[in-house]
A = this chain, B = another copy of it.
Amino acid sequence: MKWDELEQEPCSMARTIGVIGDRWTLLILRECFLRTRRFEGFQSALGITRHLLAERLKKLVRQGVLRRIPYQESPKRHEYILTQKGLDLYPIMMALVHWGDTHMVDERGRPLLHQHRKCGKNFDPVMVCSECGEPLLAKEVHTHPGPGARPPSERISRDKPAKPKTRKQAA
């Protein structure tokens, strides 16, 4: 599987990964949400090589996640601003942050806190069901093919259910 093929995969997650699923891109997007807008800002904040930064920004613009907007004439200079498509990545960012807050903090505690302007409190992001509002647990979700699914013949194979025939079973 090549990386450009990812975006054609019949899997929304694979397609998303094709757009934002590499380390630098995710960090660039973090900076975007922290209001960094300019080339030098990204570069000095992240320490990414200028070469890669230019490439990643181009790709994000091509994908419609960022818009390149002139903020100055002569010499022409541009800022990179999140589009609505880019702003919609916010739940992904928050989910990443929250997992890190839960599982990767040291004894010092969380590096950042998030305050919800609506209610004024520091909060954690919680993922809930759009229909009943209950928090989502992996075990309570059943996945089934939608209209964009490929027929089984086109689909990649998966594990067969564990049935090792007559082999000695482990304790």
Contacts and interface: CB of A to CB of B under 8 A. Distances in A.
Interface of A: 1, 3, 6-7, 10-17, 19, 21-23, 26-27, 30-31, 33-38, 40-41, 44-48, 64, 70-74, 79, 85, 87-106, 108-119, 121-134, 136-138, 140-150, 156-159, 162, 164, 167-170
When A and B form their complex, which 9 residue pairs have the shortest distance between CB atoms, in order from nearest? Answer: A12-B100, A41-B159, A109-B147, A119-B132, A110-B146, A15-B104, A108-B148, A16-B100, A91-B127
A55 to B, nearest CB: 16
A51 to B, nearest CB: 15
A132 B159 contact: no
Contacts of A167: 72
A144 B113 contact: yes
